[in-house]
Amino acid sequence: MPHEFQQPGTDFLAELRWRNLIHQATDEAGLAAHLASGRRKAYIGFDPTADSLTVGNLVPIMLLARFQRCGHTPVVLMGGGTGLIGDPSGKSAERQLMTRERVAANVEAQKKIFSRVIDFSNGRASLVNNLDWLGPLTFLDALRDVGKHFSVNAMIQRDSVRDRLQNRDQGISYTEFSYMILQAYDFLHLFEKDGVTLQMGASDQWGNIVAGLDLISRRNPTTPSGAFGLTTPLITKADGGKFGKSESGAVWLSPERTSPYAFYQFWLNAADADIPKFILTYTLWSREETEGIIAAHQANPAAREAHRRLARHMTELLHGPTEADAAEAAARALFSGDIASLPPALLDEALGSAPSSTHDKASLGAGVPLVDLLVSVQLAQSRREAKEFLASGSVTVNGRKVGPEDRVTPADLLHGRVIALRRGKKHWHVTRWE
């Protein structure tokens, strides 16, 4: 289990700095002294726009995990209230409002993700829902006690607001315009009621974080607030592509959305240039181990050892050692071609991207010559070419090498329905027999 703790006072900011995870901080020197003087609380908010979170959301989750491992107390804020409004940050158009029932269901579905990385036992962390305090807040209370501390002049200078105001086709509703007031109120509430002194988030949340700090200061004008803000850089890929996207879409943290095997493959197939950044951003390895792995990778990226270690580490962290073992076994089987031992579901997933075809199972009774089958599934252009491939030993059936005279028979069926052909190391074809 990854719930390992260092001692209170361990330098959290130094940990983030060598990992290149500090983008902006308010009074960094003051924050460093604040964290060194005792066990502190920090929070990050999570938007319930879906019933799961993605690997992009894993950056702030890992930030809270590091905070905990440095002896402090992380607070996970579920946006059950703000999710009813929608954060305009990074959005070029108005969000479609979700129903209360949908937001509540998404909040519940997301909750279980956090406990895989953060230890909530014995008060080491807490999870709160801002609907608990935003729900009872009346419109008049919000205007009198919160809104009066905000300048519209300053609010319209926010990038997320200004860009929308200048776009006549889209504009921005009063609902989304008011979002920053609600998020600022979250920080005020947690600061006053729970002693939370630090809000963290991605760099696109800087304006919302500063708004919360300003509200805290205005409510306590005669004394230094003792509250701080910190942001991390937005994660980007070396090729400029959107992080967290694969050919099949977003990479989710819930196994119902993205299987452990697909999750493992996401990290395993990362571009060589992205591996150092991913290791620094996501792993819980020590500095010595991290720098050693990165150095070895940069010296010989073709060995792909860093890819395998990263994929194993992240899959075990999010899905546990059993699922990580299975994902590793499937990856090894696919690489070697020896897939006969894979269970049905994992076999289907491992071969899911390979070309496939359906055949008459009855025809297997007499055996189907491989020279004919290779041509019919387009692993060879002609019977002559098929014979050459078979004679050279470059063709396997379920990982078993075959020759020019061999046939596939019912004995070759995996789980009674599949025979996998491979030519060379990369050319697969899945035949399904019905």
- The residue type at 96: Q
Q: Is the domain covering 12-232 a CATH 3.40.50.620 domain?
A: yes
Map out the domains of the chain as residue ranges. Answer: 12-232, 245-336, 356-433
Nearest alpha carbon to residue 214 among 240, 249, 237, 184: 184
CA distances from 247 to 53, 123, 335 (A): 18, 40, 20
For the record, the structure tokens of 339 come out as 């897939």
Q: State the residue for tokens 């949340």.
A: 205
Q: Tokens 């899945």 correspond to what residue?
A: 430
* pLDDT computed for residue 245 by the predictor: 63
Give the integer Cα–Cα distance in Å for 126 and 44. 11
Reduced to 3 states (helix: H, G, I; strand: E, B; else coil), residue 318 is helix
Yes or no: say if 62 and 117 are a contact pair by the CB < 8 Å rule.
yes
The CATH H-level superfamily of 356-433 is: RNA-binding S4 domain (3.10.290.10)
Angle between helices 305-319 and 321-336 (to 10 degrees): 140
Long-range contacts of 398-402, Cβ-Cβ distance < 8 Å, separation of 24 or more: 398/339, 398/340, 399/333, 399/336, 399/337, 399/338, 399/339, 399/340, 400/340, 402/370
- Report the predicted TM-score, pTM, of the whole model to 2 decimal places: 0.85
How would you class 232 by CB atoms within 10 Å of its CB: exposed for 0-12, middle for 13-18, buried for 19 or more? buried
Q: In this structure, how many other beta carbons lie within 10 angstroms of the beta carbon of residue 45?
A: 25
Distance CA 348, CA 199 (A): 44
For the beta carbon of residue 33, count every other beta carbon within 10 angstroms: 10
> Helix, strand, or coil here: 395?
strand
CA-nearest of 342, 354, 327 to 429 is: 354
Strands 228-232 and 198-202 come out as: parallel
CATH of domain 245-336: 1.10.240.10
Q: What is the three-state SS of the chain? A: CCCCCCCCCCCHHHHHHHCCCCCEECCHHHHHHHHHCCCCEEEEEECCCCCCCECCCHHHHHHHHHHHHCCCEEEEEECCCHHHCCCCCCCCCCCCCCCHHHHHHHHHHHHHHHCCCCCCHHHCCEEEECHHHHCCCCHHHHHHHHHHHCCHHHHCCCHHHHHHHHCCCCCCCHHHHCHHHHHHHHHHHHHHHHCCCEEEEEHHHHHHHHHHHHHHHHHCCCCCCCCEEEEECCCCCCCCCCCCEECCEECECCCCCCCHHHHHHHHHCCCHHHHHHHHHHHCCCCHHHHHHHHHHHHHCHHHCHHHHHHHHHHHHHHHCHHHHHHHHHHHHHHHHCCCCCCCHHHHHHHCCCCCEEEECHHHHHHCEEHHHHHHHCCCCCCHHHHHHHHHCCCEEECCEECCCCCEECHHHCECCCEEEEEECCCEEEEEEEC
Q: Chunked in runs of 10, what are the mean pLDDT values of the chain (434 residues)?
A: 50 95 95 94 95 95 96 96 79 75 94 95 95 93 87 74 68 80 94 96 91 91 86 86 70 94 94 96 96 97 96 97 93 85 87 89 91 94 94 92 93 92 91 92
* Spatial CA neighbour of 408 closest among 356, 366, 375: 366
